[in-house]
Amino acid sequence: MTVLDDAPAASHPETVPQVDFDTDPERYRHWRLEVDGATAWVYLDVAEDGGLVPGYELKLNSYDLGVDIELYDITQRLRFEHPEVRSVVLTSGKDSNFCAGANIRMLAQSSHPWKVNFCKFTNETRNGIEDMTAHSGQTWVAALNGTAAGGGYEMALACETILLVNDRSSTVALPEVPLLGVLPGTGGLTRVTDKRHVRKDRADIFATKSEGFQGPKAVEWKLVDETVSRKQWDETVRARAAEAAEGSHRPVDGRGIALPPLHREVTEDSITYPNVRCEIDRDARTATITVLGPEPGTVPESLERIHALGADFWPLAMTRELDDLILRLRTNELEIGTWLVRTQGSVEGALAFEAVITEHSGSDWLVNEIRHYFKRTLKRLDVTSRSLIALIEPGSCFAGALLELALACDRQYMLEGIFEDADEEQEAAQIVLTGSNFGAFPMGNGLTRLASRFYGDDEHVAELHERVGERLTGADAEEAGLVTDAPDDIDWEDEIRILLEERASLSPDALTGMEANHRFVGPETMETRIFGRLTAWQNWIFVRPNASGPDGALRKYGTGRKADFDRKRV
């Protein structure tokens, strides 16, 4: 929920600015970050005139994509720059109002792709907050010093503990259904039932009661954990933050590493970083993403050296660049529908760096953070609405953790042998399974990508585990079911060309639905429900006339006139 001026919403411009996901605390317009010993205080204080695109004001601490970009940056800096932080308090910098949620005027004027990417990125950031509590030892506490509605309450739901001020006016609410004709699209419905265990009949009442609940009723229904008077507010919030910090595994005297701006060169048809590069073919509507692997001799010999390298340590540097590239392509290049994923480098180098991560991730906070960051970046790839094709060729380094990039793809093609015109030193492509492929990087469904690939065939996954460390050629990988096809040099070029031409001829909408269905097999989790069920329904509802049509709720909200609903239930 948020605020809509009386004037009708303008249509979202067909050409919007290229979205840049770079920011830092000195450039924040909407957040304040203050670190006080073991607790970080994160204040939402939105600048009304700070919308990412023209056409709306961010009133009542409502937010848009630009606000969420800053919040994501805060989560990353807390993880890497502040190892001493063991609890995080999320609160408002404005009196009597926590957050009114996603800005309605922004939603009403936005194109469907803009809304989808906005909701997706917001969901990923919310899930990342929960990942911090679960794996980073930084537990989040929501201190709602005013009303939290819609996406504002959903932001609080991502925290481990929710405190609500008891001032006879502040409430928590999910008013999207009664007021806007849409759904709480950043996980509200799911987290209320799956995380806070609110009974489904009570959840039904809550989601259709636009004014929400306050005080003891919110506690009784498990919508918040505690209500606190204004007089006792500051003392209680500090006490809960201290309690949240007690069980953390973060080092009390840890020294963080700086996250400097990324080095990136952007042209009309390329985005290039030191460790990742992307070439865009607009005629073919493809992006070729190449991850440049490390060399064996560059592996740091000690934890001290890893910490000294900081953001230049290859696994972290590569992951930051890949994360940024995925976000840029996903948001700014809507018609580039097929991503070709390649690697280039030494298999030995990839395995050597993975060995270091495996050795220290259980004992060192920084290495642990890097491993979980790569996990989250792979998850971002999993939920990206693009056709993903891995090309495994001579000179590639799909081994261990980097093999996860190929396993995340919809298809994998691996050259058997070498190219006919290659020099004498060229070796055939190889892939290598390691222990990390069997649990270090779970998908949103809680399964490994191998378990998802061979769902229902645990025996085959166990057999693959016996082949850890083996250098598998194209024929080996095809026989093991790890690649889709392993053509030789004679057929390679034609097979890839036909694949790409076929993909480009198909409906992007149908492909998005098909790929998402195939990627997430097996059990449903809170995370897959948010992305697979809730987000799918929300995105469908967004394009329905009852929400976005000229007489829909998003258009009529704030005008004093009711929406004119098409009453058919279909």
Residues 325, 197 within the same domain: no
**What's residue 6's pLDDT?**
35
d(CA 434, CA 556): 56
Residues 92, 154 within the same domain: yes
Residues 436, 358 within the same domain: yes
Q: Rounded mean pLDDT of the chain? A: 93
Percent of the chain, pLDDT > 70? 97
Q: Integer distance in angstroms from the first to the last C-alpha of the chain?
A: 25
Give 496-548 pLDDT, tens digit per residue: 999 999 999 999 999 999 999 999 999 999 999 988 887 788 888 888 899 88
Residues 508, 381 within the same domain: yes
Q: Which of 390, 258, 251 is nearest to 316 (CA)?
A: 258
556 contacts 562 by C-beta, under 8 angstroms? yes
Q: Which of 165, 36, 31 is nearest to 95 (CA)?
A: 165
Give 301-345 pLDDT, tens digit per residue: 899 999 999 999 999 999 999 999 999 999 999 999 999 999 999
260 in any annotated domain:
no
**What's residue 12's pLDDT?**
44
171 in any annotated domain:
yes
Residues 161, 108 within the same domain: yes
**What's residue 39's pLDDT?**
98
Phi and psi at residue 158, to the nearest 5°: -75, -15
Beta bridge partners of 391: 413
17 in any annotated domain:
no
Residues 229, 322 within the same domain: no
From 491, 519, 547, the end of a domain falls on: 519
Q: Which class for 236: exposed (0-12), middle (13-18), buried (19 or more C-beta within 10 A)?
A: middle
pLDDT at 8 over 90: no
d(CA 565, CA 179): 12
pLDDT at 10 over 70: no
The mean per-residue pLDDT over the stretch 207-233 comes to 96
Q: What CATH number does residue 447 fall under?
A: 3.90.226.10
Residues 400, 447 within the same domain: yes
Q: Which of 279, 285, 284 is nearest to 266 (CA)?
A: 279
d(CA 288, CA 342): 7
539 contacts 115 by C-beta, under 8 angstroms? yes
**Structural domain range at position 533:** 25-250+526-556
